[in-house]
Amino acid sequence: MTERDIILNELAQGLHPMAQGIEWFDTHSPEEQAEILLFLRHHCVQARAITEDGPESIRRAGLRPTHTPAVLIACGPIDQQLGKIAGLAPADERRKAFRLLVAVLGVADERRRERICSGGCGHWWHNLPVASGW
């Protein structure tokens, strides 16, 4: 578990406002942002994101359906689309991709908690203490 893991999971669980997450994301270089997006993509896959998570994730991310990441997530199998979203390069698209991938992680992880971990689990990210201040 790294600081980045904790921050991303706290954002996905709504323990910090997305505005704070965007501020954190913006402190990183474009190369680091690309790495963060790929890392988020991996977390979404691990949380077993499904295509049906798209509309709720778009809503939670506060994106319009015409924003590039929202269009991508609606256009095919989610595992392929997550990679395309994570690969968006312009700075404004990276921010939107960050918001959407955090939301996808949140939606998929909520479902996982309800279905698989409802009786308790040992996943560290399901047992986060009160949000850190980062």
Successive 10-residue mean pLDDT values, the chain, 134 residues: 87 92 97 96 94 96 96 92 95 96 96 75 59 60
Q: Rounded to an integer, what is the distance from CA 1 to the centroid of its chain?
A: 17
Q: By residue range, what is the domain housing residue 78? A: 3-115
Residue 9 falls within a domain, yes or no?
Answer: yes
The single-letter code of the amino acid at 18 is M
Residue 126 falls within a domain, yes or no?
Answer: no
Q: Considering its fold, how many domains does the chain have in total?
A: 1
- Burial-class residue 16 by CB neighbours within 10 Å (0-12, 13-18, 19+): middle
pLDDT on residue 114: 78
pTM above 0.75, yes or no: yes
Residue 121 falls within a domain, yes or no?
Answer: no
pLDDT on residue 40: 96
Q: Cβ distance 14 to 8 under 8 Å?
A: no
Residue 129 falls within a domain, yes or no?
Answer: no
